[in-house]
Amino acid sequence: MIGHSILHGGPGLSSLSPSVFSSLIGQDEEHVCLQDCPDTDLREIIQELDGDDDLSQSQTSKMNDLCLSWDLPFVNIENRRWLAEKVLVHAVLGRRREQLRQLRRGLKDSGLMPLLKERPDALNIIFPQASKIFVTPEMILDRIVWPSDSDTESDDGLDISTKCSVTAYLREYIESGTSDELLELLKFWVGWAVLPQHLYVKVKKVSMPTAVTCFEILKIPGHYLSYREFKMDLAAAVSTTDSGFGLV
């Protein structure tokens, strides 16, 4: 599915940690850092285990419950740092071993595994990291499907001059945006920081810019008379990107 997406101009599978990359291509899977663990509660437990402070009774009880569920020995003074490492590795890789096995098998069956072993830099194409994504205005503008006068879907009675005026504001917003600002716009638009094959723009009779992330549609109001007003409202809407997928 990942290869099919890439071959047809779609996104790769983003936000995998470097430790998962190493595991996929058969390198040392013990090379895991705290930032690889997405669970903040587990991070706190690992930091407490790896620290120098004495553990309280409640901390010890919480850690022992976790160790029991993961078939690890109970914590004591001698094994706490060893446990910190084991908990981290299991949290990042152990609990996902079956999924990683299937992903590794898919890479082998598709013929990508030899390429990735010879060219590890190709991992960034198939599994792009959000922290390394750099977005330019051209990358977004080239993918936009702009509204046209022939659009018949849910016609709100907006004339072509209104659509042209408002979409010009959007173009200016994109052309003047920094990479970080464009990433935030992209996350608002499609739900994550990965460029899809197409980005759709609709001009509607709505009060604020909204996004239908599953269909990669940005709906912008047609009532704006100045770029300043448009920019303020779009920036306010984009700041809600932590609300996730769906109708944002």
State the catalytic residues. Answer: 214
- Least Cα distance to 133 among 210, 193, 45 occurs for 193
Handedness of CA 8, 9, 13, 19 (dihedral sign): positive
- Tell me the Cα Rg of the chain: 24
Give the helix, strand, coil percentages of the chain, each rounded to 5: 55, 5, 40
According to DSSP, residue 95 is labeled G
- Least Cα distance to 188 among 225, 226, 135 occurs for 135
Report d(CA 106, CA 17) in Å as an integer: 19
Alpha helices in 51-159 (DSSP H): 57-69, 80-92, 97-109, 112-118, 123-126, 137-141
